[in-house]
Chain A
């Protein structure tokens, strides 16, 4: 399972997003996350609408023009589209707006922070309710990374992201980006690294095996490069999923959302309630205890 956790979200230009997804499917990706940026005080409500694959259009249009997305995605099953936010704090007091209790964390699948000063970076490493720390590779990182803070972040299960699209820019941007990537891999020792493309343009995507090979230029061995696209991304997604539960122990769901394989856990009484009164089904909730997580603790 290959993932790409940073694609720019353009709700106005949907054709561009369709082309991006078609190219991602062609390059053997299985999961894609669309990003929205936030700065300062968060007041906007987030709306994420995933693009519908296998969309059926009118009969007259379908015979003449068949969209490339529909051609490619007919054979592919289980392609995921996730939502993601990155918070870019501008001043030192901005960290108040992104608490553990703030409601915007629950609406996104993945939450990331892009620190620009030493103070923020130290705070990000201590927190456990975010998933990813990203860096703006086009500008040189001002502060110096430290082994001690990064070791604490790895213990919390936070991942460090590298956006490889800045390697394809102009000469000065490329030189700064290479210097930054060498720094990040040196201080993390090749652990908990995620490669992703930070683009909205079509021609800056690359295949997953090409990116693994790019890592070897920056002293990252080929096997760890393979983890950075496949397995680390999956664990970042599951880390974000556990944020919606209660401490990773109890989960709350509507009855309609439950799969048919898990319906035996409800019992007969709740099943009858669901059939008789569909109006009240939104109020009825179910608490499924995740036994596996309890065992781990």
Chain B
């Protein structure tokens, strides 16, 4: 058996508006790629480079797509993607993040890229907000409140621990014959 050689391209679309269009189909992107192949490589290229060309995955929220093409036509299909200037009358940049022979490694890379981009943006926003808070004078007031709360919590915990220890000691010492003497001693200890 001979496997059919093909390549998968992971493409990110960067819009000029930086907005989200939920009506994006895979067919709209396929048609725009086919038009750019027709424009740059002519009738013959349109016949040749459309072999095995398909769009396997599209998420309009994250602006990521996975495109399949034949391996021998990789360079021409890739360059026709970079020549794209607009999709559905919106200006955009198409940027290839990863190429691979199997769709699985493309999927891994897409998950990794989207996780990283989410993490970085949220962490930076938090970082800048913290910086702005530190500049204000509210920082000292917040600190004092937190310290007071911590002290109260520590006191409560110590009291609970002492009560538990006394209960355990009582249970063990009840087994001993001389109950009265020990109980008196415990009471003295508790008073101390």
Contacts and interface: CB of A to CB of B under 8 A. Distances in A.
Interface in B44-83: 75-76, 78-79, 82-83
B132 A62 contact: yes
Interface residues of A, number: 24
A138 to B, nearest CB: 17
A186 interface: no
The DSSP consensus for interface residues of chain A is: helix
A62 B16 contact: no
Contact of B125 (A27, A66, A75, A207): A66
Given A75-B120, A168-B83, A206 B91 contact: no
A209 interface: yes
Contacts of B127: 74
A183 B97 CA distance: 30
A74 to B, nearest CB: 5
A43 interface: no
B95 A202 contact: no
Contact of A74 (B93, B124, B135): B124
Contacts of B82: 206, 210-211, 213-214
A210 B78 contact: yes
Nearest to A210: B82
Contacts of B121: 71
A27 B128 contact: no
A59 interface: yes
Contact of B95 (A70, A74, A167, A210): A210
B150 to A, nearest CB: 29
A206 B95 contact: yes
Given A209-B96, A213-B82, A214-B82, A203 B128 contact: no
A265 B47 CA distance: 68
Contacts of A211: 82
Interface in B105-160: 120-121, 124-125, 127-129, 132, 135-136
B85 interface: yes
Contact of A168 (B16, B79, B85, B96): B85
A59 B132 contact: yes
Contacts of B132: 59, 62-63
A4 B75 CA distance: 22
Contacts, number: 55
Contacts of A206: 82, 93, 95
A258 interface: no
B129 to A, nearest CB: 8
Interface secondary structure of B, over-half rule: helix
B128 A62 contact: yes
Interface string A212-224: 0110110000000
Nearest to B81: A210
Interface residues of B, number: 24
Given A66-B128, A71-B121, A75-B124, A210 B96 contact: yes
B177 to A, nearest CB: 73
A26 B121 CA distance: 12
Given A70-B128, A210-B78, A203 B85 contact: yes
A193 B133 CA distance: 50
Contacts of B92: 203
A71 B82 CA distance: 26
Nearest to A178: B40
B124 A71 contact: yes
A62 B129 CA distance: 9
Contacts of A75: 120, 124
Nearest to A164: B82
Contacts of B96: 207, 209-210, 213
A206 B83 CA distance: 9
A174 to B, nearest CB: 9
Interface in A114-158: none
Contacts of B93: 203, 205-207
10 contacts: A59-B135, A63-B129, A66-B128, A74-B124, A203-B93, A205-B93, A213-B75, A213-B78, A214-B82, A216-B75
- Lowest 3 A-B CB distances belong to which pairs? A210-B82, A207-B95, A216-B75
Interface of A: 26-27, 59, 62-63, 66, 70-71, 74-75, 167-168, 202-203, 205-207, 209-211, 213-214, 216-217
Given A71-B125, A217-B79, 17 more contacts: A59-B132, A62-B128, A63-B129, A70-B128, A74-B124, A74-B128, A75-B124, A202-B16, A203-B16, A203-B93, A206-B82, A206-B95, A207-B96, A211-B82, A213-B78, A213-B82, A214-B79
